Structure 1
Amino acid sequence: MIVLHHLEHSRSQRVLWLLEELGLRYEIRRYARNKQTMLAPPELRQVHPLGKSPVITDGSITVAESGAIVEYLLDTHGQGALRPAPGTAERRRFTYWLHFAEGTAMPPLLMQLVFDQIRRAKVPFFIKPVVKGIADKVGTAFIRPNIESQLRFMDDELSQRPWFAGAEFSAADIQMSFPLEAAAARAGLDDRFPKLQDWLERIHARPAYARALAAGGPYEILG
């Protein structure tokens, strides 16, 4: 039996969605975030040494990292679903976006989260302008331009095909859901990016996405 160790409001939601899309039997073990730090509880370290989510167990096998979990589930239980055929342009795009999601899209979004928290941090009033000034400068000079450049790139890509890998929905779209939901929540994914907005509407309309939300409980992008 596949067990998803599911941390609330986290990347594990898209693994749950993948399980629903594949129609697999699974069990959810739920973990709540620490209310002060918003970090995962120490109990997750009993599953994986880093104590982070997502992580799955499948019998004696433990797999962590979103992309690795996606590949494991497709290799082991996918029966050819949600992944283009090897050697095709679609498969190459699939692999690219599967890794782009965490390797390229998420770092500036995480930096924005960190600097937003720095901007809101309680500090002595006389250094507040300095802290805010540094955070604003980093955001203006580096973070925002990187996020907007990536959003333009992704929007352009989706103007050429309906899904990230090609004409068919794939697990690459599932993997891309978290950074684009984060961008919509934090980074102003607005009318400048109509293809991305349309893509988000289409993934949210999928029955398996709705089932995953019902199974996983509350899900919102933190920050």
Structure 2
Amino acid sequence: MLTVHHLGISQSERIVWLCEELEIEYALKRYDRRADNRLAPDDYKALHPMGIAPVITDGDLVLGESGAICDYICGRYGGGRLAPGPDDPDFADHLFWFHWSNGTFMATLMMQLVLASGAPGNPAAVFVEDRSRRAWAMAEARLGQAPFFGGANLTTADIMMVYCLTTSRAFRGASIEGYPNLRAYLQRIGQRPAYQRAMAKAEPGMAPMLA
């Protein structure tokens, strides 16, 4: 049985949403963050050598890393749905945004969070702040060109990107007030029944950060 191990308020919400979009059978095990430091509890850390979310188990398989899990679930259980093939006109765009999400965007946001508490004018913080500004501008521009990050249809690029635009802001207090395309996009995402089901299961009692 495919089991999604979801750490509350974390990237693993992506995997819950993916399973709901694909309408596949899966078990969900939810873990609350520790009260003292807001990190993962010991039983979650014990699932995988990195000790971070997301993690799935499938029989004897233990798999981490959001992108790898998306590819695994789509390939094994989704019949390739939500991932355009090489003959699809959106193939390259989907690949870019799918990998850019954690490879550049999420990495930049995490660096920004870490450096925010440092000394003002730190050259590293200035560099990361500029990279963050350009990343948000890229995402806003993309959604002025296409309805979804992957192109004409929802793909795993959107599964990867939406967490960066929503729940991750709970750690940073970032506003998307100045990004009308992003705001309109998130309203469309929020109307998807699969997203609604996923967030109700993953984060009960927490309103999705769609604005």
Equivalent position SS for 2:90: helix
* Residue among 134, 138, 152 paired with 2:137: 152
C-alpha separation between the residues in 2 aligned to 1:24 and 1:33? Answer: 27
- Residue identity matched to 1:203: I
- The answer for the alignment partner of 1:57 in structure 2 is 57
Gaps of 5+ in 1: 119-130
Is 2:91 the partner of 1:91?
A: yes
* Matched residues, number: 205
- The answer for the alignment partner of 2:25 in structure 1 is 25
- Residue identity matched to 2:174: A
* Residue among 146, 149, 164 paired with 1:179: 164
Contact between 2:112 and 2:125, CA under 8 Å: does it hold in 1?
no
- The answer for the alignment partner of 2:38 in structure 1 is 38
* Residue among 140, 153, 157 paired with 1:168: 153
Q: Displacement, 1:137?
A: 4.4
Pick the structure with more helix per residue: 1
- 1:169-215 CA-to-partner distances (Å, cap 9, x unmatched) read 11111110111123586333222x21111111111111111101111
Identical amino acids, percent of aligned pairs: 37
- The answer for the alignment partner of 1:12 in structure 2 is 12
- The answer for the alignment partner of 2:175 in structure 1 is 188
- Residue identity matched to 1:114: V
Contact between 1:112 and 1:139, CA under 8 Å: does it hold in 2?
no
Is 2:169 the partner of 1:210?
A: no
Deviates more, 1:39-48 or 1:197-206: 39-48
- Residue identity matched to 1:147: S
Equivalent position SS for 1:80: coil
C-alpha separation between the residues in 2 aligned to 1:26 and 1:107? Answer: 29
The alpha-carbon distance between structure 1 residues 30 and 140, as it changes in their structure 2 partners (threshold 3 A), is: closer
Superposed CA RMSD in Å reads: 2.1
- Residue identity matched to 2:176: L
Contact between 1:6 and 1:216, CA under 8 Å: does it hold in 2?
yes
TM-score normalised by structure 2 residue count: 0.88
C-alpha separation between the residues in 1 aligned to 2:198 and 2:124? Answer: 34
Gaps of 5+ in 2: none
